[in-house]
Amino acid sequence: MWAYVVRRLAYSLVTVLGVLLLLFVLFFLVTNPDDIARKAVGEKAPPQALEQWKKNHGYDKPRFWNQKHPTDTMLVDHFRRMLTFDFGNSDADDTPIWRRLKSGAGPSLSFMLPLFVLELLLTISLGLLVAFFRETYIDRMGVILCVLAMSISTVLYIIGGQYLIARVLRWFPISGFDPSPSVIARFLAIPVLVGLLSGVGDGVRFYRAVFVEESGKDYVRTARAKGCGEGRILVYHVLRNSLVPILTQVVVVIPYLVMGSILLESFFGIPGLGSITFDAINANDFATLRTMVYLGSLLFILGQILTDVSYTVVDPRVRLE
């Protein structure tokens, strides 16, 4: 298995290089450094200030080829800095990007982790429930509700959830964040609830499909013939054998655990990495944005390797060669 992991890591390095190349094309070739500098220093700034800003942020170098110093180009710089995690300063206000990442990771994690765990528990148990009642009216109602819930845009859940819970029912504060343990739950309650609601339709439908598919297999029929109860079959046989698709679904979420939710965090005033990304969009802060995309991709690739390894744990038939 270790040989597999090493080979997988080598492949991932190629993918990471691909991601970096794409980011270079997007942020250094398609976008003109002059435009970025112009937006950062202002329309009326003198040319010297423009040049100085470009020099400070490394946008003054040649893109691909430097006659005197072949390694002193934007391409080499971009790859070297990203691969050594030296992200430099923000394009908008010159704060070190690392400081921002450190300040944002905590709030994002404290918001996304409860959301993630609760959502997983809720969708899987609802999925099991609906699968238990498959081909009855409860199942059909469940599927219809899921399709209805899926057809509502996330932004409507955010507006509607805040309006209903904070303004009409007045259960929790409208927005804001305070990391002290005694009050953090009060501030996170609405965003977590809204996040749960907006993901539940999709999730339940997916898990129902997985469980129903698994329920049609031969070993389930055998278990039933032996006299196993329907509930026991679902939990001990079907759920265990569905762990592979469940794990696959879980990995997709991993990067967002740290990267946060751009929509929810920015709207509810949680100062996580999602909010930082949102601010970077509005401030045309390209340095922060490409760092976020890079880190998100990195976490995603890592998550994929972890899933493959975890398959061997939940399913002994899977051997990684």
Partner 1 sequence: MEPYVLSNAVAVGLLAGLLWALVSARRSRVWRDAGRELLRRRPIALTVFLAYVAIGLLDSLTWVSASSGGTPQGDSVSLHKPRSTIDRLFPDESYREKSYSAPLADREFLGGAPLRHPGRHLLGTDILGRDVVYQTLKGARVALLVGGFTTLIAIPLALLFGVAAGYFGGRIDDAVFFLISTLASMPSLLLLIALIMALGRGPAQVCLALGITGWVSFARVVRGETLKLRELDYVHAARALGASDLRIVLRHIVPNLMHLVVIAFVLTFSGLVLSEAVLSWLGIGIDGSWGRMIDQARDELSREPIIWWNLVSASVALFGLILAVNLLGDAVRDILDPRTLRERA
Q: Which residues bind partner 1 (CB under 8 A)?
A: 14-15, 18-19, 22-23, 26-27, 30-31, 147-148, 150-156, 159, 162-163, 167, 255-256, 259, 262-263, 277-278, 281-282, 284, 286, 289-290, 292-293, 296-297, 300-301, 304
Residue 40 near residue 50 (C-beta atoms within 8 A): no
Q: Identify which of residues 223 and 295 has a Cβ nearer to partner 1 in the complex.
A: 295
Q: Identify which of residues 53 and 286 has a Cβ nearer to partner 1 in the complex.
A: 286
Tell the smallest beta-carbon distance from residue 286 to partner 1 (Å): 7
Tell the smallest beta-carbon distance from residue 215 to partner 1 (Å): 13
Tell the smallest beta-carbon distance from residue 236 to partner 1 (Å): 26
Q: Identify which of residues 21 and 185 has a Cβ nearer to partner 1 in the complex.
A: 21
Q: Identify which of residues 3 and 168 has a Cβ nearer to partner 1 in the complex.
A: 168
Q: Identify which of residues 245 and 296 has a Cβ nearer to partner 1 in the complex.
A: 296
Tell the smallest beta-carbon distance from residue 121 to partner 1 (Å): 23
Residue 203 near residue 115 (C-beta atoms within 8 A): no
Under 8 Å CB-to-CB from 215, ≥6 apart: which residues? 131, 134, 233, 234, 238
Under 8 Å CB-to-CB from 155, ≥6 apart: which residues? 263
Phi first, then psi: what are they for 69, rounded to 5°? -120, 100
Estimate to the nearest angstrom the gap between the alpha carbon of 117 and the chain centroid.
14
Residue 301 near residue 1 (C-beta atoms within 8 A): no
Q: Which of 204, 80, 67 is nearest to 139 (CA)?
A: 204
Tell the smallest beta-carbon distance from residue 208 to partner 1 (Å): 13
The DSSP output letter for 220 is H
User: Could you tell me the two tokens for 174?
Assistant: 């409208």
